[in-house]
Amino acid sequence: MRRFTALLLAVLTLLSLTACGGQDASVPEEDTEDPGGEPVEVLPPEPEPYDILDPTVMPEGGVRDGVTYVAYDGIVEHLFFHPVIAYPELAFDGDAQANGLDDYMVTVDEYNKILQSVYDKGYVLVDIGDVWSETTGEDGQPKMVKNTLYLPEGKKPLILSYDDTNYYDYMLQNGFAYKLIIGEDGKIASWGKDPQGNEVVSRDLDAIPILDKFVEEHPDFSPFGAKGCLSLTGYQGILGYRTQTDTKSWTEAQEANRQKEIEAVKPIIAELKRTGWTFGSHTWGHIRLGTKSMESIQADTQRWFDEVGSLVGPTTILFYPHGERPDGNDWQNTGPVFRYLQSQGFRVFASVGIESFSYIKKDICAVICDRLHPDGTTLRHSRDRYLQFYDAKDIMDVAVRPQREIDWA
């Protein structure tokens, strides 16, 4: 009887798989026979194909899918976010973190409205790695050049980056997702807990699956398949998985858990890459590159390669923690720390600023750039500067944020 029930369950599982999703959820035949009465392993559905195209190449005849492409050599705008706040009532509960979260983060509602607005204003996503290339100069030395992009006529390019997508411990109590997972539909989702403590798997509560969904619904927002660049530290692991080491006492049990987390995050990384996400370094320890000693910066960089780069693969992008530039925070300076970081393979050095400034260095193969930062500070105080993307008046969730000053109110 038990065996029959197991078989029946297996058949029901198969039936329900075939019935929903509209995809071919075929399960290999050996799994369906269920010789030992073991539970049937349910395989995730085959992923839908996802095309990633090169925006530096003009489509043949200048037309793709009926859309005319034209050369673009203007400014490439760059916006960056932190993880978004899923539950404002946990973030803005008056605790010690509330004002910091108000300053540096946006809520899910605000983020949805920002994506809709930049889409409506004609921006299309490009990957930061496609905007500049390394080439050889007339003097035989390597140098960076800005690429001509071939965009759908009338569109403007936009880079998105996402800092600290590590889902730090402090975020877990403050209304953020806990980690990225692969949902039953095979797509990236977030896992977390609602204010009542119930587990929630969703594609609507974190910046990454929200953008995935937005691009599914508006494919012309990402004509090349680009999403965003995830800027990762390493000191509390990555993407919600605690893959980091500790230099102090480190037990075998801790190492075994770390290895488990490493195995668990690998398919997440693979799926993110497959669907247009890329990765950059935000240093291992979120360190201040303007003031730390060379020795500690070198140790930190090595640790990032060992614990993060080993998982996400090589990158040429470095996002400065706190926006602080190396060697005394002077963008015109090419000091010893900058030279060291460049020698480690970094070519694009991104800070934070009041416009999408970029500058190709003349004395070293590198480009520096600034990013704009949609967050509480700019929603409250920089409405004008962001009008080309959105109107803070339409975006800001005044009712859920702390009662603090707003310039435009």
Among 110, 130, 164, 370, binds Zn ion (CB under 5 A): 164
Residue found by looking up tokens 């929630």 in the block: 200
* Binding letters toward Zn ion, positions 192-231, x by CB under 5 A: ----------------------------------------
* Binding letters toward Zn ion, positions 304-323, x by CB under 5 A: --------------------
Asked if residue 130 binds Zn ion (CB under 5 A), the reply is no
Q: Please choose, out of 72-80, 134-142, 162-170, 384-392, the segment that lies near Zn ion by the rule CB under 5 A.
A: 162-170
DSSP string, 175-203: T---EEEE-TTSSEEEEEE-TT--EEEES
- Continuous H helices in 62-186: 88-91, 98-104, 108-120, 169-172
Q: Please choose, out of 18-26, 48-56, 67-75, 160-168, the segment that lies near Zn ion by the rule CB under 5 A.
A: 160-168
Asked if residue 110 binds Zn ion (CB under 5 A), the reply is no
Asked if residue 163 binds Zn ion (CB under 5 A), the reply is yes
How near is the Cβ of 394 to Zn ion at its closest, in Å?
Answer: 27
Closer CB to Zn ion, residue 164 or residue 212? 164
Q: Please choose, out of 38-46, 155-163, 178-186, 237-245, the segment that lies near Zn ion by the rule CB under 5 A.
A: 155-163
Buried b (16+ CB within 10 A) or exposed e, 138-159: eeeeebbeebebbbbeebbbbb
Q: Please choose, out of 27-35, 139-147, 159-167, 359-367, the segment that lies near Zn ion by the rule CB under 5 A.
A: 159-167
Q: In what order do the strands lie in the sheet with 179-182?
A: 179-182, 188-193, 199-202
Closer CB to Zn ion, residue 318 or residue 337? 318
Q: Please choose, out of 56-64, 143-151, 156-164, 168-176, the segment that lies near Zn ion by the rule CB under 5 A.
A: 156-164
How near is the Cβ of 164 to Zn ion at its closest, in Å?
Answer: 4
Closer CB to Zn ion, residue 186 or residue 323? 323
Binding residues for Zn ion, rule CB under 5 A, total 2
Q: Please choose, out of 17-25, 48-56, 163-171, 175-183, the segment that lies near Zn ion by the rule CB under 5 A.
A: 163-171
- Are residues 59 and 150 in contact, defined by beta-carbon separation less than 8 angstroms? yes
How near is the Cβ of 129 to Zn ion at its closest, in Å?
Answer: 20
Strand partners, 68: 63
Amino acid at 35: P
Q: In degrees rounded to 5, what are phi and psi of residue 52?
A: -120, 125
How near is the Cβ of 286 to Zn ion at its closest, in Å?
Answer: 6
Q: Is residue 198 packed enough to be buried (19+ CB in 10 Å), middle (13-18) or exposed (0-12)?
A: exposed
How near is the Cβ of 162 to Zn ion at its closest, in Å?
Answer: 10
Closer CB to Zn ion, residue 163 or residue 370? 163
Amino acid at 125: L
Q: Is residue 369 packed enough to be buried (19+ CB in 10 Å), middle (13-18) or exposed (0-12)?
A: buried
Closer CB to Zn ion, residue 77 or residue 164? 164
DSSP string, 41-64: P-PPPPPPP-----TTSPPGGGEE
Amino acid at 284: W
| E strand segments, 264-339 | 278-281, 317-319
**Which residues here bind Zn ion, judged by CB under 5 A?**
163-164
